[in-house]
Amino acid sequence: MPKPEEHALASSDFKFTGQEGVYNGKVRDVYDIGDKLVMVASDRISAFDHILPRPIPYKGQVLNLIAKHFLNATREEVPNWLIDTPDPNVSVGIKCEPIKIEMVIRGYLAGHAWRIYKTGERTLCGVTMPEGMKEAQKFLDPIITPATKAEEGHDEDISEEEILAQGLVTEDVWEELRDYTNTLFEIGTKMADERGLILVDTKYEFGVANGKIYLIDEIHTPDSSRYYYKDGYEERLAKNEKQKQLSKEFVREWLMEHDFQGKEGQVMPEMPDDFVWLVSDRYIELYEHITGLKFEKADSENLNRRISTNVESWLSNNN
């Protein structure tokens, strides 16, 4: 079994033509080039707001190409930042000023919402959740539970009332963000259903360029979304069994089994090679399941050189 690191992009340090700066996020490296951004999807993986020590082969390619699939499918309803994908790990798009709110939308009681719910709390981000619900049960209508975008550390839950009171956005902008979020979730839900999946919850990020709001970053990927398999969902719900899901929740569960939830004093466990390759397979499985396309592994012998060559070629032809 080859070492995962031999086929993964753990970090990048490019010097593209016209580059004015770079921002290294948890899993993406964003290069500022005039009025455009070059977003490199690395193979880093994060959980509980911590970057795990080992990269996941092909994860960046999976996320980048799933995001491309959904951005192209939704751009008529919601304008987005994407211009082109010159490399399997790279997206080039319009440079926007990010709105510091994550628009989280939940169709089912799962993940963070379920962890809050089972403590007895019934309010999340100012939204009241009904009594008597089970884990993985569908909400009557999807609920929007925003979070503030933290530069470092944990994102914080916030309510619509707090967003407006703090002046994070105007009421008009909030209404546009809310409408876009509901529209995207509705489209994503329909597309997932056609592929035998349930879009459980997800998050969207938005930015502004020339006074216009754009959807930015990735959408409907396993990093930003949770999916259940539709087949067997009702039976598992009736029996109070865990749902079969395609998301990185299983990585969080593995970490929790090894006593790590990102809390102070906890030591992050080392993922063995076989588990890293399993995570890689799960990402590829989701790509094929959600898009209906066969995943073609890009050449991973020299990822940095491949990406640099493809991006420079694109820039020279589009500037």
pLDDT of 37-91, one tens digit each? 999 999 999 888 889 999 999 999 999 999 999 999 999 999 999 999 999 999 9
Over the chain, what is the mean pLDDT?
93
The per-residue pLDDT for 286 is: 81
Find the farthest-apart pair of alpha carbons in the chain and give their distance in angstroms, rounded.
59
Contact assessment for residue 113 and residue 226, using Cβ atoms and an 8 Å cutoff: no
From 31, 15, 11, 43, select the one nearest 223 (Cα to Cα): 43
- Residue 311's Cβ-count burial label (10 Å; 0-12, 13-18, 19+) is buried
Q: What is the Cα Rg of the chain in Å? A: 19
Residue carrying the six token digits 């209508």: 141
Across 236-264, average pLDDT: 90
pLDDT of 234 reads 98
Question: What tokens does 212 get?
Answer: 């216009």
H or E stretch covering 176: helix 171-194
Q: Dump pLDDT digits (tens) for 82-118.
A: 999 999 999 999 999 999 999 999 999 999 999 999 9
Interacting residues of 179 by C-beta distance below 8 A, sequence separation 6+:
none
Residues 212-227: what's their mean pLDDT?
Answer: 91
* Residue 280 in this model has a pLDDT that exceeds 60: yes
Neighbour count for residue 226 (Cβ, 10 Å): 21
- The rounded Cα 36 to chain-centroid distance in angstroms is 21
CB within 8 Å of 166: residues ≥ 6 apart = none
Q: How confident is the model at residue 26 (pLDDT cuts 50, 70, 90)?
A: confident
Residues 6+ apart with CB under 8 A from 221: 62, 63, 66, 67
Give the mean pLDDT of 286-312.
93
Average pLDDT over residues 164-182: 97
Cβ neighbours of 58 (radius 10 Å)? 24
4-96+249-317 and 98-246 agree in CATH topology: no
Q: pTM of the predicted model, to two decimals?
A: 0.89
Give the pairing of strands 197-209 and 147-148.
unpaired
Superfamily per CATH, domain 98-246: ATP-grasp fold, B domain (3.30.470.20)
pLDDT category at 249 given cuts 50, 70, 90 is confident
Residue 218 has φ and ψ, to the nearest 5°, of: -95, 160
| Residues linked to residue 29 through DSSP beta bridges, in sequence order | 24, 40
Q: What is the pLDDT of residue 49?
A: 82
Cβ burial, residue 230 (10 Å; 0-12/13-18/19+)? middle
**Contact criterion met (CB below 8 Å) for 7 and 20:** no
Q: What is the pLDDT of residue 68?
A: 96
Q: How confident is the model at residue 285 (pLDDT cuts 50, 70, 90)?
A: confident
Residue 152: pLDDT band with limits 50, 70, 90: low
Q: What is the residue extent of each domain of the chain?
A: 4-96+249-317, 98-246
Q: Which residues pair with 126 in a beta bridge?
A: none
* Res. 162: pLDDT tops 80: yes
Average pLDDT over residues 222-251: 90
Domain 4-96+249-317 has CATH 3.30.200.20: yes
- Tell me the mean pLDDT in the region 139-153: 85
Residues 6+ apart with CB under 8 A from 191: 70, 73, 199, 220, 290
10, two tokens:
């753990």
- Listing DSSP states for 108-162 in one string gives ES-HHHHHHHTTT--EETTEEPPTT--TTPEEEEEEE--EE--SSS--EE--HHH
217 close to 205: Cβ distance less than 8 angstroms: yes
What per-residue confidence (pLDDT) applies to 33? 96
